[in-house]
Amino acid sequence: DAGVIQSPRHEVTEMGQEVTLRCKPISGHDYLFWYRQTMMRGLELLIYFNNNVPIDDSGMPEDRFSAKMPNASFSTLKIQPSEPRDSAVYFCASSWDRTQETQYFGPGTRLLVL
């Protein structure tokens, strides 16, 4: 398996623009997680899905952020409109449907909002 795939790997955009980050989880995994990492706040869980259904979105910073999982092999995290403070590395991770299973992380998308 290719592991968790994220695209794009790097994104540079201007303030106010819409940004869409994409994630393909490992085939057969039932959980999908979105994290954000900054120097100031470290790694934060934004939202996670189980069987394509959002379970906990308490980490989503505000209404400008939205996430969807239309099927078991694809998820998006959208920021509209983007702001400079959204600049961060965004990671997607997936795991099997067992509480103690390990999470497998993608390589991340490095986002810079000018």
Partner 1 sequence: DAKTTQPNSMESNEEEPVHLPCNHSTISGTDYIHWYRQLPSQGPEYVIHGLTSNVNNRMASLAIAEDRKSSTLILHRATLRDAAVYYCILKVENQGGKLIFGQGTELSVKP
Chain contacts with partner 1 (rule: CB under 8 A): 4, 31, 33, 35, 42-45, 48, 50, 55-56, 91, 93, 95, 99-108
Shortest Å, Cβ 82 to partner 1: 22
CB of 54 within 8 A of CB of 34?
Answer: no
Of 81 and 110, nearer to partner 1 (C-beta) is: 110
Shortest Å, Cβ 42 to partner 1: 6
- Please return the burial class of 21, using the count of CB atoms within 10 Å of its CB with bins 0-12, 13-18 and 19+: buried
Shortest Å, Cβ 16 to partner 1: 28
Contacts 24+ apart (CB under 8 A), 59-65: none
Shortest Å, Cβ 99 to partner 1: 6
From the list 9, 49, 57, the residue with the least C-alpha distance to 33 is 49
Of 42 and 70, nearer to partner 1 (C-beta) is: 42
Of 54 and 81, nearer to partner 1 (C-beta) is: 54
Residue 85 three-state SS: helix
